[in-house]
Amino acid sequence: MGTYSIEVRDLVKFHGSTRALDHCSFSVKHGEFFSLVGPSGSGKTSTLRLLAGFEYPDHGEILIEGRSMNRTPPHHRPVNLVFQNYALFPHLTVFKNVSFGLEMRHVAPGEITSRVAAALAMVRLQGKETRVPSQLSGGEQQRVALARALVNRPAVVLLDEPLGALDQQLRQEMQVELKTIQEQAGLTFMCVTHHQEEALTMSDRLAVMNRGRILQIGSPREIYESPISTFVATFIGQSNQMAGRVEAVSAATCRIQVSGLPSILARSTGALTIGDSVTLIVRPERIELSRESLHAGYDNAIPARIEKVIYNGSENQYWFRLTDHIVWKAHELNARPDRKGFVPGESILVRWHAVDGIVLTE
Amino acid sequence: MPPSSPNSTDRRHLFSWPLVPAVLWMGAFFALPLLVVLAISFASRGPYGGVEWTFSLTNYALIADPLYLKIYGRSLWLAAATTAICLLIGYPLAYYIARAPKQWQAIWLLIVIIPFWTNFLVRTYAWMFILRAEGVLNTVLLKTGLIHASIDILYTDMAVLIGLVYGYLPFMVLPLYAAIERLNPSLVEAAWDLYADGWSVLWRVIFPLTKTGVAAGCLLVFIPSVGAYITPDLLGGARTMMAGNLIQHEYLVIRDWPFGSAISFVLMAVVLLGVMLYFKAGGALDVEEERR
């Protein structure tokens, strides 16, 4: 047994004539919480179905626990899937739903009872054994679906949009709980989601997918702080963008020229040469708005005018105009409610550090 | 028309204008004649075939005669066998249709229903041509050397069974199709994912969740099969009489209306009892099917 629960090499899958998966490769380590995140049609669900065994790849290889699974049907794979709409058996009780996999593998009845009890305890559903799914709330059904997979102690628990059907409040609670359960159970989780915040919150590592390709794999911090493409930068988190040209490059920073603005200092990625067309990305929460007219230690300070203000409780969100063509936004934590906020039409100074300016060449 | 809503009270549910045509129709042409038949079943046959209104239970006592019990037995047996065979053939067929691509489903269902466009009597005559001693079936079997002497199928229980299965198969397929089509495909995938092989998926998930369709299909095949008349008459001949033929015989040949009525009522009672037992055994267990 190697260090990987899942190894996917050069996977290709066609749906009709469209290429659902285009030479995808990634590995998931033991005990890792790994997420595939991307918009609908990005190929993440196809990948999950190939791992579960409902479909077979057209090219490439799937290894689970080091064993090739390319043509292994689902019931012979050491993985269990938590379905998007849970797919609980409506005619069976909670207990029978959870014990289904163990019964199919002819586990001794005494062991079934204790393992089901342990799994239900883990998802905090004790006392609901004799209910049927229609008597449970959405959140409870979600837990049963999870317990039904956990109880088998599979090599990998696959989760398809696990929190997609829950309301916002419950969703955020469950993100933390899912991660806790995964750590307690010590199992490998692979989750598919279109919800970028969910992927960042729960995952040890994530892969960002679009149009059948994996664009970037890394920890949440790596993906958020150092996206390698504008797609990743805009899909994961919010971002401001502007197009420019490289004016000067040094080891740590580079200087970007943007028409209508003073030169902008940004983080250098190393592969830049003078004259390159680039996209500059700055996260809204890294931008500071000020009524002062000083640099005050910031590398960039540009005058702007407030266009629009949104107050959402935890944050003040400001849209401001830098040039005729560029409107950016800044998120300011609402930590000092007594402070007077900016108002539309107000002239301000927009400031940020060079390290917060991400430069992308694509 | 009074406004009706799902929140109407039980009392308001009892009367509803849209029900009036159905109630009038069924009352005049079903309930009332049935009561007349019930009344006649307690009367007795006049010397020249008329009905004499003298109350007696003789007609019902007469049914205990082994001759008639045998006909009842054959009816029930043939109907049960027809139902079982229709289920065995119909379930895989319905499953296949329900899981076919949408545009194909309509075509398959059309093929299942097409025989209804031809008169039932004509189709049964066609079976006589196929099954008789020098018929299509025997000719083919003899020519291919599978048999060396023609086999007698026409005018046997086998012929009746073939005819009944042929005639009532669509009644099995349609409700099964409706039930299987409603089944959430991810439930099948979930079972498969949880280590169930094909057989377990069928018995533990698909079959229990389509039980309502099975119950409906079985009732729709069993009930008309028990009372079948044309099929046993044409394919079974005089030797294999079923209850339907017996009733016809008593009414029209023997002209013993009271006895014919009694047979009809006992047949209804037997079917009703069977249906009730079936439902009680959980055949129509209410299953809440979760849709995607």
**CB-CB under 8 Å, A89 with B187:** yes
Q: Which of B12, B10, B11 is nearest to B1 (CA)?
A: B12
Lowest mean pLDDT among A111-120, A166-175, B183-192: A166-175
**CB-CB under 8 Å, B193 with A104:** no
* Residue B142 in domain: yes
Lowest mean pLDDT among A130-134, A318-322, B252-256, B287-291: B287-291
ipTM above 0.95, yes or no: no
Does residue B289 belong to the interface with chain A, where contact is any CB pair within 8 Å? Answer: yes
* Residue B175 in domain: yes
For residue B210, the chain A residue with the least C-alpha distance is A91
* Residue B190 in domain: yes
Q: What is the pLDDT of residue B30?
A: 93
Does residue A16 belong to the interface with chain B, where contact is any CB pair within 8 Å? Answer: no
Report whether B271 contacts B226 (CB < 8 A). Answer: yes
* Residue B264 in domain: yes
Helix (H, G, I), strand (E, B) or coil at B79: helix
Read off the pLDDT band of B13 (50, 70, 90): low
String of DSSP letters for A196-262: HHHHHHH-SEEEEEETTEEEEEE-HHHHHHS-SSHHHHHHSS--EEEEEEEEEE-SSEEEEE-TTS-
* Residue B56 in domain: no
Asked whether the predicted pLDDT for residue B277 surpasses 90, the reply is: no
Dist. CA B25–CA B47, nearest whole Å = 35
Q: What is the pLDDT of residue B10?
A: 56
Is B39 buried (19+), middle (13-18) or exposed (0-12) by CB count in 10 A?
middle
Q: What is the pLDDT of residue B28?
A: 94
Q: Which residues of B touch A87 (CB under 8 A)?
A: 184, 186-187, 189-190
Dist. CA A264–CA B245, nearest whole Å = 99
Determine which of A45, A84, A85, A159 to mutate to test the interface with B (most B C-beta atoms within 10 Å): A85
- Mean pLDDT throughout A96-108? 97
Does residue A118 belong to the interface with chain B, where contact is any CB pair within 8 Å? Answer: no
Report whether A282 contacts A302 (CB < 8 A). Answer: no
- Mean pLDDT throughout B15-35? 91
- Mean pLDDT throughout B114-134? 88
Closest CB from A52, A90, A101 relative to B288: A90
Q: What is the pLDDT of residue B166?
A: 94
Residue A86 has what DSSP assignment? Answer: B
**CB-CB under 8 Å, A88 with B192:** no
State pLDDT tens for residues A297-332: 899 999 999 999 999 988 999 999 999 999 999 999
Backbone angles phi, psi at A303, to 5 degrees: -70, 145
State pLDDT tens for residues B209-230: 999 899 899 999 999 999 898 8
- Mean pLDDT throughout A326-344? 89
Mean per-residue pLDDT of chain A: 93
* Residue B203 in domain: yes
Asked whether the predicted pLDDT for residue B289 surpasses 60, the reply is: no
Q: What is the pLDDT of residue A357?
A: 94
- Residues near A215 by beta carbon (within 8 Å), at least 6 away in sequence: A208, A209, A228, A229, A231, A232
State pLDDT tens for residues B179-211: 999 999 999 999 999 999 999 999 999 999 999
For chain A, domain boundaries: 4-226, 238-360
State pLDDT tens for residues B74-107: 999 999 999 999 999 999 999 999 999 999 999 9
Report the domain count for chain B.
1
Asked whether the predicted pLDDT for residue B12 surpasses 90, the reply is: no
Does residue B185 belong to the interface with chain A, where contact is any CB pair within 8 Å? Answer: no
* Residue B52 in domain: no
Read off the pLDDT band of A353 (50, 70, 90): very high
Report whether A305 contacts A345 (CB < 8 A). Answer: yes
A 181-220: CB under 8 A from B: none
- Mean pLDDT throughout A252-276? 90
Does residue A81 belong to the interface with chain B, where contact is any CB pair within 8 Å? Answer: yes
* Residue B55 in domain: no
Mean per-residue pLDDT of chain B: 87
- Mean pLDDT throughout A90-105? 97
Report whether A309 contacts A317 (CB < 8 A). Answer: yes
Tell the CATH superfamily of the A4-226 domain: P-loop containing nucleotide triphosphate hydrolases (3.40.50.300)
Asked whether the predicted pLDDT for residue A15 surpasses 80, the reply is: yes
Question: Tokens for B197?
Answer: 């092989």
**Number of residues in chain A:** 362
Does residue A100 belong to the interface with chain B, where contact is any CB pair within 8 Å? Answer: yes
Q: Which of A149, A158, A155 is nearest to A190 (CA)?
A: A158
- Mean pLDDT throughout A158-186? 90
**Architecture in CATH for domain A238-360:** Beta Barrel (2.40)
Residue ranges making up the domain that contains B239: 63-291
Does residue B192 belong to the interface with chain A, where contact is any CB pair within 8 Å? Answer: yes
State pLDDT tens for residues A33-52: 999 999 998 999 999 999 99
Q: What is the pLDDT of residue A149?
A: 96
